[in-house]
Amino acid sequence: MSPFRASAPFTPEWKHFGFTVDDGVATVAFDRPERLNALTFEAYADLRDLLLELPHRDDVRALVLRGRGRGFCSGGDVDAIIGATLDMAPDDLLAFTRMTGETVRAMRECPVPVIAAVHGVAAGAGAVLALAADFRVVESTARFAFLFTRVGLAGGDMGAAYLLPRIAGLGHATRLLMLGDTVGAEEADRCGLVSEAVGEGEAAEAAGRLARRLADGPAFAYAQTKALLSRELDMGLSGAVELEAVTQALLMKSEDYREFHAAFTGRRDPQWKGR
């Protein structure tokens, strides 16, 4: 994590979702179960700002996104967002759509591994947030739907047209984004959207186990791996090989690399410091 802090303190309270930290594992719980955890303008802004804050905190080494109640997240609230946008000026609309995209970009650029624990519905923006996570732990009854064309908007929203072809391939991405069809967990798995498939009611616990493993591991190595995966998507081979060479040389000077050698020669488990 970055040791460089400006004057502003960390946010003491996030009002538009639940947020907890337990021994290095942070959990964001979308908390509007009566609306299938539909997002509001304020929830987007809080999530964006939290993701920008996490790289500067030293108490979070893994992040879980989950939803309370019957689903993960049903996307933007029809009344609070879709209805409101009908009367918004063009500059305000652009500020909103940029904010949603900034949320996904912050998720991908955050050095903390992000796990989406998906149960029930992940639709619209909810599907994109799951897509932008590093890992998706998905229950057998979960459903994904990229619904943007169903409301008359472009299927590429919040970076979906960038991320989905790279995860599922262009053919699956075209079908899912163009038609907006709902797909179940089994089909989502075939498309490559599922990192870990679990039974009904098991996503939160399984995501917690994965988060615990990540939080207890070599955080600096995980952060650099995530950065390589994101940045090499648009690089040629020579640039990618050079970036990996520079990254490995950097990590070879890390405390964790030295700790591995000490643990191996001492016949003990390494005590990772994330440095």
Span 194-199, average pLDDT: 98
Instruction: Quickly state the pLDDT bin for 8 (edges 50, 70, 90).
Output: confident
Q: Encode pLDDT of 204-228 as tens digits.
A: 999 999 999 999 999 999 999 999 9
Report CA-CA distances (Å) from 157 to 5, 44, 98, 131: 32, 14, 10, 12
pLDDT > 90: percent of the chain:
97
- Which tokens sit at 246? 């520079």
The pTM score is 0.95
Could you tell me which of 42, 46, 39, 41 has the C-alpha nearest to residue 19? Answer: 46
